[in-house]
Amino acid sequence: MNHLLTMDQLSNRMIYSLLENAGRMKRGEQKTWKGRFAANLFLEPSTRTRQSFHVAERRMQMEVLEMEAEQSSLLKGESLYDSVRTLEAIGTDILVIRQSERDSLQELSECKGISIINAGDGTGEHPTQSLLDLFTIYEEFGCFKGLTVTIAGDIKHSRVARSNAYALKQLGAEVQFSSPDEWKEPGKTYVTMDEAVASSDVLMLLRIQKERHDWEGDIPDYLTDYGLTKERERRMKSHSIILHPAPVNRGVEIDSALVECQKSRIFTQMNNGVYMRMAIIDELMGGKHNENNKCVPMERELFATM
């Protein structure tokens, strides 16, 4: 694997390999890419993805370049492609990038010397979120076949929904959706939230992507009509779990009291995000170089010791 841009590039075999590797990292296995360079470029706001990549990179002893868009030459009109080629030319191994335009990272896959990780491309995909969600589900149930997963909320604008729907189906889960009519996408199976709580093993809630449309609805009505209320939570299956990629809008898609309830794995997802991102970086670095790291250029070895 040279880049991670979309979930449809990953076979089940690769997904399971990442899940197993993330599990080993969580159990304390150390993998280091000491002296190698990772750059994080976030052109849209982020707390979890950006900081968990930073933690993952530092835990693997990488040198981290935190790029600020407003301090970069993107502001002088340099194209994203030329900026990435520049990072590649100066020896950056990994580029984690979030930006607002869907599918615009494909052209960067021509860059062979640097591995691009899609940290969210508008309404397109969010593969690292999907993989950490899969890790959280796998940790809980040890399988995907036979599980019913409901993805609920702003389906039309959610990159998390897109990545997860694809991957979960490929892995054999039953995937259904729950959404207000205006955010439904055609060709999907929809249930009401009342039906969702009764049938789901995994209930994945989504934030309303207000930055991508002009929603002016009534928040208490949204919770009552489409969200997870305390009353609905009581009707969930005993073994079922609640996921949410966060940030959470408490009292909108979920009652505030449920964010840290016994069924919630929301903060576990964030914790798992660090290990999954370590596994992804390790896979990409391993793909660029042989497993014994023998092809590290001499100047890099020298630089690492300075």
Of residues 111 and 163, the one with the C-beta less far from ligand CP: 163
Q: CB 45 → ligand CP: shortest distance, Å?
A: 6
- Report residue 97 as tokens: 């990038």
Of 127, 153, 227, 245, the residue at the interface with ligand CP (CB under 6 A) is 245
Of 6, 21, 40, 49, the residue at the interface with ligand CP (CB under 6 A) is 49
- The amino acid that residue 137 corresponds to is I
Q: CB 48 → ligand CP: shortest distance, Å?
A: 4
Size of the site for ligand CP (CB under 6 A): 10
Of 9, 47, 109, 256, the residue at the interface with ligand CP (CB under 6 A) is 47
Q: CB 105 → ligand CP: shortest distance, Å?
A: 16
Q: CB 50 → ligand CP: shortest distance, Å?
A: 6
Q: Which residue ranges are tagged as binding site for carbamoyl phosphate?
A: 48-49, 98, 126, 129, 246-247
Q: Which residue ranges are tagged as binding site?
A: 48-49, 76, 98, 126, 129, 159, 207, 246-247
Of residues 57 and 88, the one with the C-beta less far from ligand CP: 57
Cα 102 from Cα 120, distance rounded (Å): 9
Select the span of 80-88, 183-191, 244-252, 298-306 touching ligand CP (CB under 6 A).
Answer: 244-252
Count of Cβ atoms closer than 10 Å to residue 15 Cβ: 20
Binding track, positions 73-112, relative to ligand CP; x by CB under 6 A: ----------------------------------------
Q: Is 153 near ligand CP (CB under 6 A)?
A: no
Q: CB 171 → ligand CP: shortest distance, Å?
A: 20
Contacts with ligand CP by CB under 6 A lie at 46-50, 120, 129, 245-247
